[in-house]
Amino acid sequence: MDTKIKVMVRDASVIHTQLLSGALRRDHGFEVSSCDSVHEGVGPVLERSFDVLVVSINLGEHSHGGLDLLREARVSRPLLRAVVLLDSSKPEAVLEAFRAGAKGVFSRQESLDKLCKCIRCVHEGQIWANGRETAIALEALASAPALHVVDANGLNLLSNREMEIVQCVAEGLTNRDIADRLQLSRHTIKNSLFRIFDKLGVSNRLELLLMTLSHASNPQSMFSSFLRGCENGALQDDCTMEECQQAAEQGSPVAQLLLAQLYATKNDPREIILAYKWYSIALAQLSQSTKKLRKRMTAEQLSHLEEMTVDWAKSSRKIPAASISAANFPALTHATDVGSD
């Protein structure tokens, strides 16, 4: 017997949630649960076990409140599969739903049977949108400006105030913290960041950090400051977590390590697991990179490299020197063992 798909429903009002939940329960392939209050935050949603979240774009009197809930939920559950119910297929609503992380968008004018098909498709990892909604997404993608690469001179395009904001980002400050420090409104900081992104050809705070690191006189110190901001809880900001998540899923080891660091600072057991996950993924990628480099090096170079890394381990006392030798120079260690027989 096939396992039922667990569906969580959060419609615009309590009565709409109850009606939709009841309708979906008629499909024997679904196990449906719901949140009875549209005023509660993301907590009650995450407390439940479900496969697909069906959420209204608007919650109660909160316009696009469902998208805010979805963004917040994806911080703790990055792989969350969600269907956003749209009151209309206006282009801005469709695009905002996908940007918030929806895997499917569904117009209320469509039939219940189609909604059931939508939920099944999203559960299988597919994207759901009708022809018009797909056209809207493709048109937005086609009209989006191409990413342009900016060299070190690109930072000179920024005003003094914008450079101050960049420095604050590098310290791991949230928009609220930056606004407090510079005595500006959060709205002003947000708009300034969008202008900075546009000038430098980046799309989020993490890409901005990486660009800034590449041109910094002391990148190690700057990155350390950024990590201290993580440890102090400054980067519990939803947007920053989501940006790190996206970059990590795209394969950036730096983003994976940063995301692991962010999760590791929390006490929630679920987030400790996520920290371990991203540390493991980053380690696997870095291991592959070091293996490729080892193949290009001579035995003499490997021997010299081992001496340098072991010396660093002994002086820093961060990790046992023996673990570096065994983990990063297995081929050399094995060759030495064979020669001593």
d(CA 247, CA 253): 9
pTM: 0.46
Q: How many CA atoms lie within 13 A of 315 on its CB side?
A: 6
The structure tokens listed for 334 are: 């094995």
d(CA 273, CA 183): 38
The one-letter amino acid code at 64 reads H
Instruction: Report CA dihedral (95, 135, 146, 170) to the nearest 10 degrees.
Output: 20
The pLDDT tens digits along the chain (341 residues) read 468 999 999 998 889 999 999 999 999 999 999 876 666 667 777 778 899 999 999 987 778 888 888 888 887 787 889 999 998 878 888 988 988 889 999 999 899 999 999 999 999 888 899 888 888 887 776 665 544 444 445 567 788 888 889 888 877 677 888 899 999 988 888 888 888 887 777 766 766 776 766 555 454 555 555 555 554 444 444 455 666 677 777 777 777 777 787 777 667 778 788 888 888 888 887 777 777 887 888 888 878 877 777 777 777 666 665 655 544 554 444 433 333 33
The structure tokens listed for 212 are: 């800034």
**Residue 278 host element (H or E):** helix 269-295
With beta carbons less than 8 A apart as the criterion, state whether 189 and 179 touch.
Answer: yes
With beta carbons less than 8 A apart as the criterion, state whether 260 and 275 touch.
Answer: yes
Q: What is the pLDDT of residue 154?
A: 59
With beta carbons less than 8 A apart as the criterion, state whether 128 and 103 touch.
Answer: yes
Neighbours of 139 (CB within 10 A): 12
Q: What is the pLDDT of residue 73?
A: 83
Which residues have a Cβ under 8 Å from the Cβ of 129 and sit 6 or more positions away?
94, 104, 105, 137
Which residue is listed with tokens 């559950």?
Answer: 77
The one-letter amino acid code at 278 reads W
With beta carbons less than 8 A apart as the criterion, state whether 147 and 203 touch.
Answer: yes
